[in-house]
Amino acid sequence: MLKTTPLAAAAMAIFATPLYAQTTAPNAPAGAQVAQASTGQAADAKDAGAGDGAAPGATLPAVKVTGQADTSTDFQPDISSVGAKVPTALRDIPQAAVVVPKAVLQSQAASSFTDALRNVPGITIAAAEGGTIGNNINLRGFSARTDIYLDGFRDRGQYYRDTFNLESIDVLYGPSSLYFGRGSTGGVINQVSKQPTLKPRADVSVQAGTSDRYRTTVDLDTPINDTSAFRINAFGQDLGSTRDQMKSKDYGVAPEVKFGIGTPTEITLSALIQHNRDQPDYGIPSLNGHPASVVGPSTFYGFTNDRTIQDVQTFSLGIKHRFNDNVTLSNQTQYSHYSTDVRASNPAAVLTGPLATSTALTNGNFTSLDPSQLFVKMQGKDRVINDHSLYNTTELQTKFATGFLKHELLTGVDLSHETYSNQSYNATTPGLPTNTIAVVPLLDPAYVPTPSNLQITPGNLAESSANGIGIYANDTVSIGQHWKVVGGVRWDRYEASINNSLNAPGYATQTNYFTSVRGGVIWQPTDWQSYYVSYGTSFDPSLEALTLTNGQQNLPPVHNKSYEVGAKWDLLGGGLSVTQSLFNIEQTNARTLNVDGTYSLEGDIRVRGYQLGVAGRITNKWQVFGGYTYMDGEILQALDGTQGNVPANTPRNMLTLWTTYALTPQWEIGGGPVYTGPRYAATNNLVEVPGYTRWDAMAAFHQKHYDIQLNLINLTNKHYYDQIIQSDGGRAVPALGRTFLATVNYRFY
């Protein structure tokens, strides 16, 4: 399929009109005809080059569609940034991949990273906890907290990400250490930033909603000369919530300049600067094996002056030189600093009396006592975290032929240096046990500031660092018109050390070597269908996140492997993409706690299942984007009593669907459900978080220079739990209640 190129797609603003940004609407007959005629041309051109006697590795001239159709509003992506480390057609990736385009995010008024990921089946959210502040993601049953990327570089900082500067969010499922080094057990998530273009634009968006929600974004794109451009995106927001005391005030700016656009040598300089000030939410306790249903969805456990302050500064430099159509060399460097300053409190043990020395419930907090007789011990979670990372990647892309085989070879070297420090603090109110701030009723806790006589003393200081080098090569071999074989190998050296001032181990260091592989076979009998089988591996060192549980410092990395078989179809004349896959991911030597308190690699965790995805147009006026996944997760072997249990935060069924319909060239309506099945808060399976279905809706009025859009989030005001925490028997964070958003987008060009 051929829509816009990635560079052209990046020219579209974050709040551009969801369906009709041009005077001629895409659903008008002429625009629709052009869009349909262009569908599938990219694949056709590639196959034609393979079978019409073209020179090995030669590429056909790009086909440009101008003036008639604006595909920036399409829900159907055709390129992924993570399937092969470089932008690659989805049909040429032998793994499941989901690309959430900007058009879907705009239609849903999704501004946070978490909201955007609701469109991706197989992703569940874990709440902030202690030293894991920010977006904590589970992907196909495995933690992906350090598998979040920004323009191909690991974005390992602990902060709450925003969509204001994103062109798309790309997800690749399954172990992928070949491209990304350590981690990626369940997959990786890449944030794709907007890029400067030679087309001027100036877009402003203003949003207001119930619960005192206000947000503004700006997108300016200015050509400097015929081959250079500058773009800057910015946002500011003041957000309330249906949850009591929940308030956030955030802002950010992302400038970027690109030189040599359309020339053999392109140079890109970019930055992301973001500041968050949020109220930490550690959820509500569990009671009798479930989140305490007697506690209202707005109830907050904490103090009114709790806060999380986060600052992010990321700077990038990229240089790409195209020697000819067959050889391209690129080098990219990224430096990031993340700081987090937390003053927070969380509901810990549930007590059977009002005193801090009262009996604490355990193991799911089962009790026959009336909830009015129960109390909650509040503990401090104060800490200061600093992350620094420096990454450099050099890649060489070559195209050549060996006989009748055509190769697209990618070779590269990744270098990394990371440091991390986490200074924790102990908060104690005089007269109460150490690290106890207060004891509050389970029902209707008072909203007050922290006690004036609170004593705060430094706790453990963890300082760690890591150096890594990865050398990789991946070859996509075309055999005739219909077959492709993908194979690659990577060698990694990952050296990390940690020093604790109080906790054990006082000092630990480890050096890990690992060789990752990936292989796949793709059969494409026509330009609208693709079938594949694949195998991939990855590894997880115990110091992967630069934090360490004592007893794991001397363990080798955990090994992960994945088998997958799938199909990708472009139906209805190429306007609708449908994907299916069967997968099996297994950790064959998972870390497990022995009865004597030590750890060994005797565990085995497996998640297998099925995934379905759909994206694109059913008719010229009707678009859909969604997916379903079935995950059968099981701890096959463990020495800690969890054998036979389901991994934490791994629901069996998940469904997401968003659809819009253009009633006229000006009026559009849309909506859809998000379903997540029941899941366990921890691997002991003692606390089960119930499943839920949430419905959202939207209506929009479009004109050439402006849009007015109305979104209704959680239409039925469903009370459900969005995020879970494993600690203290398992806690859950209630989700946003019914919320109404009104957005006005204005385009000056």
Confidence of residue 24 (pLDDT cuts 50, 70, 90): very low
**pLDDT at residue 126, rounded to an integer:** 87
Q: Confirm if 414 and 470 have CB atoms less than 8 A apart.
A: yes
Residue with tokens 């060399």: 329
pLDDT at 649 over 90: yes
Dihedral pair phi/psi, residue 231, rounded to 5°: -135, 140
Confidence of residue 413 (pLDDT cuts 50, 70, 90): very high
Give mean pLDDT, residues 588-600: 90
Work out the burial of residue 222: count CB atoms within 10 Å of its CB; fewer than 13 is exposed, 13-18 middle, 19 or more buried. Answer: middle
Confidence of residue 53 (pLDDT cuts 50, 70, 90): very low
Letter for the amino acid at 264? P
Q: How many residues does the chain have?
A: 749
Q: Please report the domains of the chain, with CATH numbers, ordered by start residue.
A: 6-747 (2.40.170.20)
Tokens representing residue 117 in the block? 């990921």
Higher per-residue confidence, 569 vs 59: 569
pLDDT at 50 over 70: no
Give mean pLDDT, residues 37-57: 37
Q: Provide the β-strand partners of residue 700.
A: 668, 709
**Per residue in 308-320, pLDDT tens?**
999 999 999 999 9
**Per residue in 338-350, pLDDT tens?**
999 999 999 999 9
**Per residue in 267-323, pLDDT tens?**
999 999 999 999 999 999 999 999 999 999 999 999 999 999 999 999 999 999 999
**pLDDT at residue 86, rounded to an integer:** 87
**Per residue in 87-104, pLDDT tens?**
999 999 999 999 999 999
pLDDT at 620 over 60: yes
**Per residue in 155-177, pLDDT tens?**
999 899 999 999 999 999 999 89
Residues in contact with 687: Cβ distance below 8 Å, sequence separation at least 6, in sequence order: 286, 289, 290, 291, 364, 365, 680, 681, 729, 730
Helix, coil or strand: residue 43: helix
**Per residue in 206-221, pLDDT tens?**
999 999 999 999 999 9
**Per residue in 64-77, pLDDT tens?**
333 344 557 899 99
**pLDDT at residue 70, rounded to an integer:** 55
Confidence of residue 142 (pLDDT cuts 50, 70, 90): very high
Residue with tokens 């693709």: 530
**pLDDT at residue 30, rounded to an integer:** 34
pLDDT at 131 over 80: no
Q: How far is CA 351 from CA 38, 362, 443, 578, 583, in A?
A: 65, 10, 12, 51, 44
Average pLDDT across the chain, whole number? 90
pTM above 0.75, yes or no: yes
Is residue 47 within a helix (H) or strand (E), and if so which, with residue range? helix 41-51
For a pLDDT cut of 70, what percent of the chain falls above it? 90
Give the residue from 597, 683, 589, 592 showing the smallest Cα distance to 640: 592
